[in-house]
C-alpha cells in the first residue's frame, strides 16, 4: 500500500513540474506580447505624428496653390486689359496706311520675354549676352526658280527682300515650334540657322582633361564639362599652342544661352575634371583694317578717296611697283659655284644688279695657267678687285676658289696654303670682316649630285661666335680648332647666337653646335631648341631644311599562321581548272606559281603595322613628360629673369625623378608580365638579340663593270641579278640523249650498323 502511495506521489510531483514549466513558458510569452504591444504603441504614435505633419503640409500647399491661382487670375486680367488696348489701337489704325510686316518686325514687342535681362555692369560681362530667343532662316541660297516661294506669305512674307528672316520668340517652346514649322515648310535652298553661341574664355585649364596627345578635343568633352558646370556647351576650342608641352593652357567654350555665359563670367570659375579654372571675357583678336592705297588705318582700299601713297618710300603719287627709290645700302655677299664654266662666270660678272654688292665669292672658277701665270675670265674688272689664292697647283685648274671685292673697299689678303681657300679682311668703318671663299674637294659625286655636310653634337668648347657675349675672356680661344674646321670646310653654325644648350646647377652656356655647309644652310628652315624636355642637362636641338623627303612605303607582312588554307586550296583549284596544261614545263610552273601566290595574298590576313612607341609606353608617361616640361620651363623662365625660385627648382627636380622612375617601373612591369605568359618564353630570346638594322647587315657598295659604284638599293639589286642570273640566250637548242651511268647498288642496312655509333 505504501508503495502505491509513493508511486502516486511521484507521478503527481512530475505532473506538477510539467505544469510549472508550462506556466513559465506562458509567462515568457506574455512578457513578449507586452513588449511588442509597447512597440506597436510607439509606431502608432510616430504614424500619428507623420499624419499631423502631412496635414500641415497639405494645408500649407493648398494655401500656396490658392495664392498662385489668385496671382494667375490677376495676370490673366492684365493680359485681357492689354489685349483690349491692342484691339482698340488696331481699330483706330485702320484708317491710316497699313504697315508692312517688316516695319512691325522692327518694332520691339510690348512685353519683353521674362528671360531677357540687361546687364548692370560692363566690366565683367558683355552686354550682348542676352537670352533673346529667336530663329533665323537663311534664304540666300534659294534658287531663282523658287525665289517667289521664299516670301513672307510662306515664311511670314519677305521682309523687304532680306536674305535672312529673324523670328523673335517668347519662350523656348515657341522657338522649337517655329523651327519645326520652318524646317517642314521652307522652300528648297532655305535653311534654319543654328542658335547663337556665346563664347567664354577659360584660363588655367588642365590640358589632359580637354585635348589628347595630338592636340584634338577629346570626344565627349563638351558634354562632360557642360554637365559638370550645369550649362549647355556647343563646342570647345583650344587656344594655347597644340605642339607645346605645357600641362595647363587656355580654351574657349561656346555656350548656347547668354544666361549661362553670364553665370560663368560672374562666378569667375569653371569646374574642370575636379579642378577649378578661371573664366574671362573672350575677345576675338582681329588685325586693324589698313588701306593699301593711302597706307592709313581704319578703312579699306575700295572705300578710299585719298591720293595714292607708295608703300615702299611713303611718298605720294606712285605705286610701290613703280618706285625707283634706292634702298639703304647694306653689306651684301654672293656665293656661286660656276663649275669651271666660262660663260657662267662671265654672266655673273656682267650682272648689273650686283653692282652694289661688297663681295662675290666664286667656287670652282674658270682659270687657266699660261706661262706660270693664272688667267681668269675676265682677267680684270673696273668695279672689282680680283683676289686669287696665294697657293696654286700645277694642274689643268690651278685654283678652286677666288674673291671679287668692290674696288672702293680697303682689303688685305690673308695667305692660306691651299688652292681651295681664299681669305681676305675687309676694313670698314669701325670694324673688320673676314671673308673666306671655300671649295671642298670631291664635293660632287660622279653623277653630278650635290653632297651636303652637317655636323651636330656636344663640342664642349666655348666661343663668342656661338656662345654670345656671355662667354668669359679666359674661355675665349679654346675653340680655335673648331673655327679652323669651319673655315676649312665652309661650315657655319645654324643655331642662333647665344642659345643656351646646357644647364648646370647655377650656370648655363652654349656647347652644343650645328654646323653645316653654306649651300645646306641656305635651305635651313629652322634651327632652335626643341620644346620637349627629356630629363637631360643638355637641351635638344631641332634643325629643319627645305629638302624633299622620299615617301615612306609600308609593306604589310602576311600573317601565315592565321592563313585560311582550306579556302586557299579551293581558290587555287578553281583558278587552275581553266588553264591549259599542254604547254611546256616552265609555263606550267609559272602558271602554278602565279595562281598560288595570288590566292595567298588575297586571302591571308596582314600583320598590323607596329606603333611608333614601344609597347610598354603608356599615356601616363606622356602626361608625366608634359608635366616635367612645364615645371622645368617655369623654373628656367624665372631664373633667366633674375628671379630664381627655389620652390620651382625643387618641383622641376621632383617631376624629373617621378618621370624617370615611372619609365623604369612601367618597363619592368611590362617585361615581367610578358615573361609570366608561357607562350612568350620562346619569344624572349629574340628580344635579347641585337637588332639587325645595323650597317654591318647592309649590302656594301658594289663595283660595276665600268668602274662606277652601285650604292642605291635598286642599283645593287640589278647588279646582283645581272651577275648571278645572267640573261638566257636568245635560242636554246634541245639536248641530245647522253649516256648515263648505271646506278650504284646500295646494300641493306643491318641491325648492327644501326646500333653502331
Q: Which of 194-198, 594-598, 645-649, 680-684 has the highest mean pLDDT?
A: 594-598
Contact present, 444 and 450 (Cβ < 8 Å): yes
Sheet containing 233-238, strands listed edge to edge, beginning at the edge strand earlier in sequence:
233-238, 248-255, 198-206, 275-280, 270-272
C-alpha cell at 153: 506669305
Residue with cell 611546256: 584
Residue 465 in this model has a pLDDT that exceeds 70: yes
In this prediction, residues 294-319 reach a mean pLDDT of: 86
Question: pLDDT value at position 572?
Answer: 93
Contact present, 168 and 132 (Cβ < 8 Å): yes
Secondary structure in 3-state letters for 370-410: ECCEEEECCCCECCEEEECCCCCCCCCCCCCEEEEEECCCE
Higher pLDDT, 360 or 419: 419
Phi and psi at residue 649, in whole multiples of 5°?
A: -65, -45
Greatest Cα-to-Cα distance within the chain, rounded to the nearest angstrom: 177
CATH number of 330-548: 3.60.10.10
Question: What SS3 class is residue 167?
Answer: strand
Of the pLDDT bands very low, low, confident and very high (cuts 50, 70, 90), residue 567 is: very high
- Return the CA Rg of the chain: 47
Residue 571 in this model has a pLDDT that exceeds 90: yes
CATH number of 198-281: 3.30.70.330
Question: pLDDT value at position 596?
Answer: 94
Q: 75: cis peptide before it, omega within 30°?
A: no
Of the pLDDT bands very low, low, confident and very high (cuts 50, 70, 90), residue 150 is: low
What percent of the chain clears pLDDT 90, i.e. is strictly above it?
5
Taking the alpha carbons at both ends of the chain, their separation in whole angstroms is 114
Residue 614 in this model has a pLDDT that exceeds 80: no
- C-alpha span between 78 and 70 (Å, rounded): 13
In this prediction, residues 488-505 reach a mean pLDDT of: 82
Strand 333-337 and strand 359-363: pairing? parallel
- C-alpha span between 656 and 637 (Å, rounded): 17
Of the pLDDT bands very low, low, confident and very high (cuts 50, 70, 90), residue 566 is: very high
Question: pLDDT value at position 550?
Answer: 42
- C-alpha span between 485 and 5 (Å, rounded): 140
3-state helix, strand, coil in the chain (%, to 5): 40, 20, 45
Burial 646-677 (b: 16+ CB within 10 A, else e): eebbebbeebbeebeebbeebeeeeeeeeeee
Of the pLDDT bands very low, low, confident and very high (cuts 50, 70, 90), residue 142 is: low
Of residues 336, 367, 339, the one with CA closest to residue 349: 336
DSSP annotation of 696: G
Contact present, 198 and 260 (Cβ < 8 Å): yes
Residue 122 in this model has a pLDDT that exceeds 80: no
Of the pLDDT bands very low, low, confident and very high (cuts 50, 70, 90), residue 136 is: low
Question: pLDDT value at position 121?
Answer: 38
Of residues 300, 298, 296, the one with CA closest to residue 309: 296
Task: Please name the helix (run of DSSP H) or strand (run of DSSP E) that holds residue 713, with its range, or none.
Answer: helix 713-724
Residue 675 in this model has a pLDDT that exceeds 60: yes
In this prediction, residues 316-338 reach a mean pLDDT of: 69
- C-alpha span between 689 and 537 (Å, rounded): 31
Question: What SS3 class is residue 266?
Answer: helix
Lowest mean pLDDT among 175-189, 229-243, 566-580: 175-189
Of the pLDDT bands very low, low, confident and very high (cuts 50, 70, 90), residue 172 is: low
Contact present, 137 and 155 (Cβ < 8 Å): yes
Where are the chain's structural domains?
1-34, 134-192, 198-281, 330-548, 560-603, 619-688, 693-723
Question: pLDDT value at position 117?
Answer: 37
In this prediction, residues 588-604 reach a mean pLDDT of: 92
Of the pLDDT bands very low, low, confident and very high (cuts 50, 70, 90), residue 451 is: very low
Question: pLDDT value at position 501?
Answer: 80
Residue 231 in this model has a pLDDT that exceeds 60: yes
Tens of pLDDT, residues 54-103: 888 888 888 888 888 887 887 777 777 777 766 665 554 444 444 443 44
Helices (H) and strands (E) in the chain, counts: 16, 26
Higher pLDDT, 72 or 202: 202
In this prediction, residues 340-360 reach a mean pLDDT of: 70
Contact present, 435 and 408 (Cβ < 8 Å): no
Cβ partners under 8 Å of residue 728, min gap 6: none
In this prediction, residues 250-260 reach a mean pLDDT of: 88
Cα 426 from chain centroid? 48
Cα 124 from chain centroid? 34
DSSP secondary structure, 490-529, as one string: TEEE-SPTT---EE-SS-EE--EEEEEEHHHHHTEEEEEE
Q: Please, what is the average pLDDT of the chain?
A: 75
- C-alpha span between 119 and 128 (Å, rounded): 9
Contact present, 512 and 540 (Cβ < 8 Å): no
Tens of pLDDT, residues 16-67: 788 888 888 888 888 888 888 888 888 888 888 888 888 888 888 888 888 8
Instruction: Quote the strand ranges of 80-188, DSSP E.
Output: 134-138, 164-168
Residue 554 in this model has a pLDDT that exceeds 70: no
pTM listed for this prediction: 0.43
DSSP annotation of 626: H
Instruction: Quote the strand ranges of 108-216, DSSP E.
Output: 134-138, 164-168, 191-192, 198-206
Lowest mean pLDDT among 234-238, 293-297, 731-735: 731-735
Residue 500 in this model has a pLDDT that exceeds 80: yes
In this prediction, residues 550-570 reach a mean pLDDT of: 80
Contact present, 440 and 420 (Cβ < 8 Å): yes
Of the pLDDT bands very low, low, confident and very high (cuts 50, 70, 90), residue 521 is: confident
Higher pLDDT, 250 or 706: 250
Of the pLDDT bands very low, low, confident and very high (cuts 50, 70, 90), residue 611 is: low
Question: pLDDT value at position 593?
Answer: 93
Residue 121: HSE in the Cβ half-sphere, 13 Å Cα cutoff: 6
Question: pLDDT value at position 725?
Answer: 84
Of the pLDDT bands very low, low, confident and very high (cuts 50, 70, 90), residue 334 is: low
Angle subtended by helix axes 565-576 and 585-603, to nearest 10: 140
In this prediction, residues 228-234 reach a mean pLDDT of: 89
Higher pLDDT, 287 or 53: 53
Question: pLDDT value at position 602?
Answer: 92
Residue with cell 697647283: 393
What percent of the chain clears pLDDT 70, i.e. is strictly above it?
71
Phi and psi at residue 427, in whole multiples of 5°?
A: -95, 110
Phi and psi at residue 756, in whole multiples of 5°?
A: -70, 135
Lowest mean pLDDT among 154-163, 522-531, 697-706: 154-163
Contact present, 366 and 403 (Cβ < 8 Å): no
Residue 536 in this model has a pLDDT that exceeds 50: yes
Lowest mean pLDDT among 30-39, 110-119, 413-422, 739-748: 110-119
Amino acid at each position: 500500500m505504501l508503495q502505491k502511495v509513493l508511486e502516486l506521489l511521484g507521478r503527481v510531483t512530475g505532473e506538477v513540474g510539467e505544469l510549472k514549466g508550462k506556466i513559465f513558458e506562458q509567462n515568457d510569452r506574455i512578457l513578449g506580447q507586452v513588449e511588442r504591444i509597447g512597440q506597436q504603441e510607439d509606431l502608432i504614435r510616430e504614424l500619428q505624428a507623420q499624419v499631423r505633419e502631412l496635414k500641415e503640409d497639405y494645408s500649407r500647399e493648398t494655401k500656396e496653390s490658392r495664392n498662385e491661382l489668385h496671382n494667375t487670375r490677376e495676370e490673366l486680367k492684365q493680359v485681357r486689359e492689354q489685349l483690349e488696348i491692342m484691339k482698340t489701337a488696331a481699330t483706330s489704325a485702320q484708317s491710316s496706311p497699313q504697315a508692312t510686316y517688316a516695319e512691325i518686325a522692327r518694332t520691339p514687342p510690348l512685353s519683353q520675354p521674362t528671360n531677357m535681362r540687361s546687364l548692370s555692369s560692363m566690366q565683367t560681362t558683355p552686354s550682348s549676352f542676352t537670352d533673346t530667343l529667336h530663329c533665323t532662316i537663311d534664304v540666300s541660297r534659294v534658287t531663282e526658280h523658287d525665289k517667289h516661294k521664299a516670301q513672307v506669305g510662306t515664311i511670314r512674307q519677305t521682309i523687304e527682300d532680306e536674305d535672312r528672316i529673324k523670328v523673335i520668340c517668347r519662350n523656348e517652346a515657341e522657338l522649337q515650334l517655329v523651327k519645326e514649322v520652318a524646317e517642314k515648310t521652307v522652300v528648297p535652298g532655305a535653311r534654319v540657322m543654328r542658335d547663337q553661341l556665346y563664347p567664354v574664355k577659360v584660363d588655367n585649364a588642365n590640358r589632359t582633361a580637354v585635348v589628347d596627345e595630338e592636340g584634338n578635343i577629346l570626344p565627349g568633352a563638351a558634354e562632360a564639362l557642360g554637365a559638370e558646370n550645369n550649362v549647355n556647351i556647343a563646342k570647345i576650342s583650344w587656344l594655347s599652342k597644340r605642339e607645346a608641352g605645357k600641362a595647363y593652357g587656355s580654351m574657349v567654350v561656346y555656350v548656347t544661352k547668354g544666361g549661362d555665359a553670364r553665370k560663368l563670367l560672374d562666378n569667375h570659375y569653371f569646374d574642370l575634371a575636379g579642378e577649378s579654372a578661371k573664366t574671362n571675357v573672350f575677345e576675338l583678336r582681329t588685325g586693324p583694317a589698313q588701306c593699301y592705297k593711302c597706307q592709313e588705318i581704319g578703312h579699306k582700299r575700295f572705300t578710299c578717296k585719298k591720293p595714292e601713297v607708295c608703300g615702299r618710300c611713303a611718298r605720294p603719287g606712285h605705286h610701290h611697283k613703280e618706285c625707283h627709290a634706292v634702298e639703304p645700302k647694306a653689306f651684301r655677299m654672293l656665293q656661286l659655284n660656276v663649275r669651271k664654266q666660262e660663260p657662267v662666270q662671265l654672266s655673273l660678272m656682267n650682272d648689273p644688279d650686283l653692282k652694289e654688292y661688297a663681295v662675290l665669292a666664286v667656287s670652282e672658277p674658270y682659270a687657266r695657267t699660261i706661262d706660270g701665270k693664272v688667267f681668269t675670265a675676265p682677267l680684270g674688272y673696273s668695279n672689282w678687285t680680283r683676289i686669287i689664292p696665294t697657293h696654286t697647283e700645277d694642274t689643268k685648274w690651278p685654283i678652286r676658289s677666288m674673291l671679287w671685292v668692290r674696288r672702293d673697299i680697303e682689303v688685305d689678303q690673308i695667305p692660306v696654303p691651299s688652292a681651295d681657300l681664299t681669305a681676305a679682311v675687309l676694313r670698314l668703318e669701325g670694324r673688320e670682316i673676314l671673308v673666306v671663299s671655300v671649295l671642298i674637294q670631291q664635293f660632287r659625286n660622279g653623277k653630278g649630285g650635290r653632297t651636303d655636310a652637317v655636323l651636330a653634337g656636344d663640342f664642349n668648347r666655348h666661343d663668342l661666335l656661338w656662345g654670345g657675349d656671355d662667354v668669359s675672356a679666359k674661355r675665349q680661344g679654346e675653340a680655335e680648332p673648331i673655327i679652323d674646321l669651319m673655315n676649312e670646310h665652309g661650315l657655319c653654325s645654324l643655331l642662333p647666337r647665344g642659345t643656351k644648350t646646357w644647364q648646370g646647377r647655377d650656370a648655363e652656356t652654349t656647347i652644343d653646335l650645328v654646323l653645316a655647309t653654306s649651300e645646306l644652310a641656305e635651305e635651313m628652315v629652322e634651327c632652335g631648341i626643341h620644346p620637349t624636355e627629356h630629363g637631360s642637362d643638355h637641351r635638344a636641338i631641332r634643325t629643319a631644311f627645305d629638302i624633299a623627303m622620299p615617301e615612306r612605303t609600308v609593306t604589310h607582312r602576311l600573317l601565315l599562321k592565321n592563313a585560311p588554307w582550306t579556302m586557299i586550296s579551293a581558290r587555287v583549284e578553281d583558278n587552275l581548272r581553266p588553264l591549259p596544261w599542254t604547254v611546256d614545263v616552265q609555263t606550267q610552273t609559272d602558271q602554278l606559281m602565279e595562281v598560288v601566290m595570288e590566292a595567298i595574298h588575297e586571302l591571308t590576313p596582314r600583320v598590323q603595322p607596329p606603333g611608333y612607341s614601344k609597347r610598354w609606353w603608356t599615356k601616363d608617361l606622356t602626361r608625366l613628360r608634359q608635366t616635367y616640361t612645364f615645371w622645368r620651363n617655369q623654373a628656367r623662365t624665372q631664373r633667366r629673369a633674375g628671379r630664381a625660385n627655389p620652390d620651382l627648382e625643387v618641383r622641376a627636380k621632383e617631376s624629373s625623378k617621378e618621370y624617370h622612375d615611372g619609365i623604369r617601373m612601367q618597363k619592368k612591369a611590362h617585361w615581367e608580365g610578358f615573361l609570366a605568359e608561357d607562350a612568350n618564353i620562346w619569344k624572349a630570346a629574340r628580344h635579347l638579340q641585337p637588332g639587325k638594322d645595323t650597317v654591318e647587315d647592309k649590302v656594301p657598295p658594289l663595283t660595276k663593270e665600268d668602274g662606277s659604284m652601285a650604292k642605291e638599293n635598286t642599283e645593287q639589286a640589278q647588279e646582283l641579278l645581272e651577275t648571278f642570273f645572267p640573261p638566257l640566250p636568245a635560242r636554246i637548242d634541245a639536248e641530245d640523249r647522253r649516256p648515263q651511268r648505271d646506278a650504284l647498288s646500295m646494300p641493306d642496312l643491318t641491325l648492327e650498323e644501326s646500333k653502331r655509333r
